[in-house]
């Protein structure tokens, strides 16, 4: 299965590179795609290049290898934004790209974040 994911990743890379454009982490979608490729290819340096300086220190090579162990031959990418209000309440918005005169994003889901899940979104 990892071999299949490698071939898919290679195909995306070749198609992406064939038009002269190299995928850059200039959007959340591209950063997620590049992160997934680095995990599938077990390229810790490429993975580290996608992280902030403070996060680089907190994800060891052992943890990175664990990401590879839980990955599968395909991945589903979704785009979310978190709205945090001054009263501490949160809304989680899920977006979907819509191809109309370029790429626009439309909200497809809005969830109120339960109190017990808010710590999941806190930066440490």
Under a CB-based contact definition with an 8 Å cutoff, are residues 78 and 94 in contact? yes
pLDDT in tens, 38-66: 999 999 999 999 999 988 888 999 999 99
Q: Per-residue pLDDT averaged across 23-47, rounded?
A: 92
- Please, which pLDDT band fits residue 100 given cuts at 50, 70 and 90? confident
Sequence ranges of the domains in the chain:
2-70, 79-121
Is there a contact between 37 and 9 (Cβ–Cβ < 8 Å)?
yes
Q: How far apart are CA 112 and CA 75, in angstroms?
A: 25
The Cβ of residue 100 has, within 10 Å, a number of other Cβ atoms equal to 8
């Amino acid at each position: 299965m990892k071999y299949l994911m490698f071939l898919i990743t290679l195909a995306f890379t070749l198609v992406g590179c064939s038009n002269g454009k190299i995928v850059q982490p200039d959007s959340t979608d591209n950063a997620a795609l590049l992160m997934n490729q680095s995990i599938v290819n077990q390229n810790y340096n490429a993975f580290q290049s996608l992280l902030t300086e403070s996060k680089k220190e907190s994800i060891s090579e052992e943890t990175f290898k664990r990401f590879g162990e839980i990955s599968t031959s395909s991945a589903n990418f979704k785009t979310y934004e978190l709205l945090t209000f001054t009263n501490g309440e949160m809304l989680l918005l899920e977006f979907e790209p819509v191809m109309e005169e370029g790429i626009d994003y439309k909200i497809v889901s809005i969830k109120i974040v339960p109190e017990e899940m808010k710590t999941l979104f806190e930066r440490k």
